[in-house]
Amino acid sequence: MKPFYSLKPIEMNIVLRPWQEADIASLVRNANNINIWNNLRDYFPSPYTERAAKEWIDINAAVSPITNFAIDLEGEAIGGTGLLLNSDVYILSAEIGYWLGEPYWGKGIATEAVRLMVQHSFDQFNLVRLYAAVFAGNNASMRVLEKNGFYLEATRKNAVVKNGVVMDDCIWVKLRA
Ligand SMILES: CC(C)(COP(=O)(O)OP(=O)(O)OC[C@H]1O[C@@H](n2cnc3c(N)ncnc32)[C@H](O)[C@@H]1OP(=O)(O)O)[C@@H](O)C(=O)NCCC(=O)NCCS
């Protein structure tokens, strides 16, 4: 499938593209990881089974315009990034989310994927505000956002319960230029 954007400056060719049936094995391999799940909402499957992968791919195949993309490195889906479009009076806002397979952490890949997703989001949707909600302590994710020009707008005290622990989350924002 045709990628939406591609990258050349670092040596890896990262593209965002639609999820496809052929991604099931790599999706399970990369997503079935408690270190990823611990930083995401509980609706992210854990364990991440083949059935969950197929459901995710099927659901997204039916959505238009596409809001969830595979992060592709040389043909392999190594992570995901997506948009949750808001509604009603919040219709000009969307929440951005992302995750990456652990073997690929620390190489600048999420930073590039978020850059591509921000570009795509402001290009393709009538949005004035993108934001991310990051669990307190997820400093790698906050750094990814900071490197993409997001700013910390607020810390919401006790906003989240994850693994039975109540914690804060941090709202990072990027406004349309
Ligand atoms: C968060 C995540 C997407 C980051 O992916 P990544 O490809 O490793 O990120 P990058 O390499 O692009 O950038 C990470 C940055 O955080 C920094 N970093 C990593 N761990 C850190 C830590 N514990 N404290 C502070 N900074 C940290 C890195 O040094 C790097 O910054 P730099 O380029 O200035 O050196 C990845 O760890 C992940 O998928 N985590 C689980 C899911 C998740 O947290 N999703 C986001 C939910 S809001």
Q: What is the pLDDT of residue 8?
A: 42
Q: What is the pLDDT of residue 81?
A: 98
Residue 2: inside a domain, yes or no?
no
Q: Which atom of ligand 1 is nearest to the CA of 101?
A: 39
Residue 130: inside a domain, yes or no?
yes
Parent domain of 34: 14-175
What one-letter code names the amino acid at 29?
R
Bond prior to 47 in cis (omega within 30° of 0): yes
Rounded CA separation 80/69 (Å): 6
Mean pLDDT of 12-18: 95
Residue 54: inside a domain, yes or no?
yes
Model confidence at 45, pLDDT cuts 50, 70, 90, reads very high
Model confidence at 35, pLDDT cuts 50, 70, 90, reads very high
Model confidence at 6, pLDDT cuts 50, 70, 90, reads very low
Residue 1: inside a domain, yes or no?
no
Residues at CB less than 6 angstroms from ligand 1: 36, 39-40, 98-100, 105-111, 132, 134, 138-141, 143-144
Strands (E), 47-126: 68-73, 76-85, 93-100
Q: Which atom of ligand 1 is nearest to the CA of 134?
A: 48
* Both tokens assigned to 79: 């992570």
Residue 9: inside a domain, yes or no?
no
Q: What is the pLDDT of residue 9?
A: 42
| CATH number of the domain within which 69 lies | 3.40.630.30
Crossing angle (nearest 10°) for helices 24-31 and 50-61: 120
10 pLDDT exceeds 70?
Answer: no
Q: What is the pLDDT of residue 172?
A: 99
Q: Which atom of ligand 1 is nearest to the CA of 111?
A: 12
Burial of 69 (C-beta count, 10 Å sphere; 0-12/13-18/19+): buried
Residue 89: inside a domain, yes or no?
yes
Model confidence at 3, pLDDT cuts 50, 70, 90, reads low
Q: What is the pLDDT of residues 89-140, one digit of tens each?
A: 999 999 999 999 999 999 999 999 999 999 999 999 999 999 999 999 999 9
Residue 110: inside a domain, yes or no?
yes
* Both tokens assigned to 114: 């978020």
Residue 3: inside a domain, yes or no?
no
Q: How many structural domains comprise the chain?
A: 1
Model confidence at 12, pLDDT cuts 50, 70, 90, reads confident
Q: Whose CA is nearest to atom 32 of ligand 1?
A: 143
> Within 13 A of 173's CA, how many CA atoms are on the CB side?
12
Q: pTM surpassing 0.75?
A: yes
49 pLDDT exceeds 50?
Answer: yes
